[in-house]
Amino acid sequence: MSRWMPWLQAAPLALVLAVFLVVPMAMLVVVSFYDYDSFSLIPDFVLTNYREVFSSWVTWQTYLKTLWFAGLTWAITLLLGFWLAYFLAFVVRDPTWRMLLFVLTTVPFWTSNLIRMIAWIPFLGRNGILNNTLIGLGAIDRPLEFLLFSDFAVILAFVHLYTLFMVVPVFNTMMRIDHRLLEAARDAGAGFWQTLWCVILPLCKPGIGIGSIFVVVLVMGDFATVRLMSGGQSASVGLMISNQIGLMQYPAAAANAVVLLAMVLLLVAAMLRAIDIRKEL
């Protein structure tokens, strides 16, 4: 009995993942080779869906744009998240304050991403708060058009939504750094930047790795942020897939999905090679 216990306990998890993850992903691969017309799926083995993905310049551009979104968001959230975590872990001395400020950065996690995107409309619109303030101050005489429904708005929303995914793991690893190491570095004559570069940064790597995986994966698979914040002016692979779904072109969507999945898995594998996160799990 007790020999079978672990299998029995793990069985529900395995079953759910098998039915709702493994089989659906296999389904994507199968359907990506199907043929289709405007009414139905035609079971077949054709390569046209993939040929369309790789032969269209627009599709290439969309993939590059998605990578660009992911790269830029990653760079900003990493820079911002690192210093915010640094402030919490090393500058704030009082544990109660530190806890309070940490909780404050995590509260938005419990609210809807969609609503946090919508919340930018009154700020960035043509007659929004930012434009009106700038005009009131005399800094500009015409409303800035690029604020809403642009790549700027998309990146802003990504940073707004996902910085906390970077702050939390980096903060966690920073809190585990033995402060005697920092003292030792100072005694050995290291300045602030040297300590940061040679002691703190290497020890934070696992946290940075986890945060980076979260941010990159979330941005790569996004469709709603790009649709909402760019107002249909920009594209991402996720949005392209969701548009193809809307047009009932399931095999085309599936082919893009398989390519996107391969890309995301490769990116994650590359990050795992660069940074060992196992110590954190």
Partner 1 sequence: MPGRAARLLLGALFAAFLLFLYGPTITIAILSFQGPDGGLTFPMNGVSTVWFTRLFQPQAVGDLGAAMRRTLALAAMVTACTVVVSLAAGMAFRRRFAGSGALFYLTLASLIVPSILVSLGIGLLFTLMEWEPAWYSSAFGAQLTWTLPFGLLIIFAVFNRFDRSWEEAARDLGATPWQGFRHVVLPIIAPGVVGIALFGFTLSFDEFARTLLTAGSGNTLPLEILGMTTTVTTPVLYALGTVSTALSFLVIGGALLGVRLLRRRRGA
In the window 48-87, what residues touch partner 1 (CB under 8 A)?
80, 83-84, 86-87
* Cβ nearer to partner 1, comparing 87 with 152: 87
d(CA 252, CA 260): 12
* Cβ nearer to partner 1, comparing 31 with 155: 31
Residue 5 sits in the site that holds partner 1 (CB under 8 A) = yes
Could you give the count of Cα atoms lying within 13 Å of 12 in the half-sphere of its Cβ?
2
d(CA 281, CA 278): 5
Binding mask 247-276 for partner 1 (x = CB under 8 A): ---x--xx--x--xx--xx--x--------
Residue 201 sits in the site that holds partner 1 (CB under 8 A) = no
- Please state, in angstroms and as integers, the Cα–Cα distance from residue 62 to each residue in 52, 66, 77, 112, 235, following that order: 13, 6, 22, 27, 6
Residue 192 sits in the site that holds partner 1 (CB under 8 A) = yes
Residue 198 sits in the site that holds partner 1 (CB under 8 A) = no
Site size with partner 1, rule: CB under 8 A: 81
Please work out, in degrees rounded to the nearest 5, the angle formed at the alpha carbon of residue 155 by the alpha carbons of 153 and 156.
60
CB 63 within 8 A of CB 71: no
d(CA 208, CA 168): 10
**Residues within window 123-142 making contact with partner 1, judged by CB under 8 A:** 123, 125, 127-129, 132
Residue 21 sits in the site that holds partner 1 (CB under 8 A) = yes
d(CA 112, CA 133): 28
Question: Which residue type occupies 222?
Answer: D
If DSSP states are collapsed to H, E and C, what string results for 97-110? HHHHHHHHHHHHHH
Cβ 41 to partner 1, closest distance in Å?
8
* Cβ nearer to partner 1, comparing 85 with 208: 85
169, 209, 211, 238: residue in contact with partner 1 (rule CB under 8 A): 238
Measured torsion, CA atoms of residues 269, 235, 222, 163, in degrees rounded to the nearest 10: 80
58, 103, 115, 137: residue in contact with partner 1 (rule CB under 8 A): 115
CB 155 within 8 A of CB 73: yes
* Cβ nearer to partner 1, comparing 57 with 94: 94
Cβ 13 to partner 1, closest distance in Å?
4
CB 223 within 8 A of CB 205: no
Segment interacting with partner 1 (CB under 8 A) among 44-52, 117-125, 135-143, 200-208:
117-125
14, 47, 198, 266: residue in contact with partner 1 (rule CB under 8 A): 14
* Cβ nearer to partner 1, comparing 13 with 57: 13
- Please state, in angstroms and as integers, the Cα–Cα distance from residue 194 to each residue in 20, 118, 222, 267, following that order: 49, 42, 38, 30
Residue 217 sits in the site that holds partner 1 (CB under 8 A) = yes
Cβ 90 to partner 1, closest distance in Å?
7
